[in-house]
Amino acid sequence: MNKQELTSYPKEKIKILFLENISDKAVQRFKENGYTNVTKLGGALSEDELIKAVKDVHLLGIRSKTQITKKVLDSAAKLQAIGCFCIGTNQVNLKEATKQGITVFNAPYSNTRSVAELVIGLSIMLIRRIPDKNAAAHNGIWNKEAKGSFEMRGKTLGIIGYGSIGSQLSIMAESLGMKVRFYDTETKLPLGNAIACKTLKDLVSTSDIISLHVPETAQTKNLINKTNLKHFKQGSILINYARGEVVDLEALAKCLKDGQLSGAAIDVFPWEPEKNGDTFTTPLQGLSNVILTPHIGGSTEEAQENIGEDVSNKLFQYLEKGITNGSVTLPAIGLPPVEGAHRILHIHNNVPGVLSAINTELSKHHINIVGQYLKTNEDIGYVVLDVDKKLSKQAAELLRNVKETIKVRMLY
């Protein structure tokens, strides 16, 4: 099958919109394969702007600032997929996207190295009190002393959240001669010589540096608060390059002022400005030995290229083959094209009897099914059907009338 024939809809009519200065790798991937109607914008759009912009869009690419609400999704009648060119997907109303049969992809592993490297660098800077010495030097004060400065070797790094970033950080820290302990709500296999802690209190009370790598959920909101900050080892350092709601910044500021903690590095905040140049405030501003960065943990050119390639490949595979591997809304299906058949994608509410209804309807009209694959999650059923070419248009129309159908797409 010719690569240029892997979609029944004219490629030049498929509208693709990328926001927030997504890597050119993503744009390049689609244009090289005949998709000419690609628009790339430098910033995020407001809800009202998005409602207008996505009206005829088939594929939408965003990063973390763009908020995909129910109103936005309701206005996007042609939208097939959303690519989140970042780790998280909390900026998308996933429940509504699932309900509307819109597949959402992200890049959960593409910037892990960038974040882990920066956490190591920050740890060294803070344990040596470089921010204080840097500020003094800029103010014309010579402050050459060893007091309060330490080596990383032999110190204990406590990692909260032992996922892709936390585990990579674990290996890098051990290479510097650090001891590593971690805490995770799920049982995780330790890498290297890392030791799992049974409680959060056990971890924070025995670690010299604590680094957070957890998602933003109801359970992790204010995970680090005034209560458990009291259990932190005296003079320890806190690093949050995870999510903004995870740390109570007022409580952290008090601990830093009181000397309970000797330093902190924070990259994510409960509230962040919409665009570069906007005013930004936090209770941590002006505090000694604190490094504040503007949500740039994964912002390296390498990471952005990796993310661009990863997410655009997932969008491309879904658009041309119906493959949903890596989707956070639709069940994962990965099937190669079938020669001599047309492929139809059927997304439906996951209730008993839908597959039987599909097969009954096609059988009644003597439509031969060359290949069929069903996979479900809690809410959605996803069927990929390869049917006889001569009757594929009729099959697609019949499938649209099957009860519980959300979306039907003739792929090729």
Give the DSSP per-residue string, 182-235: EE-SS--PPPTT-EE-SSHHHHHHH-SEEEE-----TTTTT-B-HHHHTTSPTT
Of 49, 272, 309, 404, the catalytic one is: 272
pLDDT-based confidence at 1, cuts 50/70/90?
Answer: very low
Q: How far is CA 352 from CA 137, 355, 370, 381, in A?
A: 70, 8, 23, 10
Q: Give the whole-angstrom CA distance, residue 64 versus residue 24.
A: 17
CA 369 to chain centre: 37
Catalytic hit among 58, 63, 181, 243 = 243
* pLDDT for res 148: 94
Q: Is position 272 annotated as part of the catalytic site?
A: yes
CB atoms under 10 Å from CB of 49, counted, come to: 14
The single residue listed with the structure tokens 């009209």 is 365
Query: According to the model, what pLDDT value does residue 336 have?
Result: 84
pLDDT attached to residue 392: 87
* pLDDT computed for residue 3 by the predictor: 45
Rounded distance between C-alpha atoms, residue 121 and residue 389, angstroms: 58
Sequence letter at residue 382: Y
Among 295, 305, 309, 404, which one carries the catalytic annotation?
Answer: 295
Q: What is the pLDDT of residues 330-345, one digit of tens each?
A: 999 998 888 889 999 9
Residue 313 banded pLDDT, cuts 50, 70, 90: very high
Residue type at position 54: V
- Identify the pLDDT of residue 8: 65
Residue 399 has pLDDT above 60, yes or no: yes
Tens of pLDDT along 141-187? 999 999 999 999 999 999 999 999 999 999 999 999 999 999 999 99
- Strand locations in 32-77, DSSP E? 38-40, 59-62
SS3 251: helix
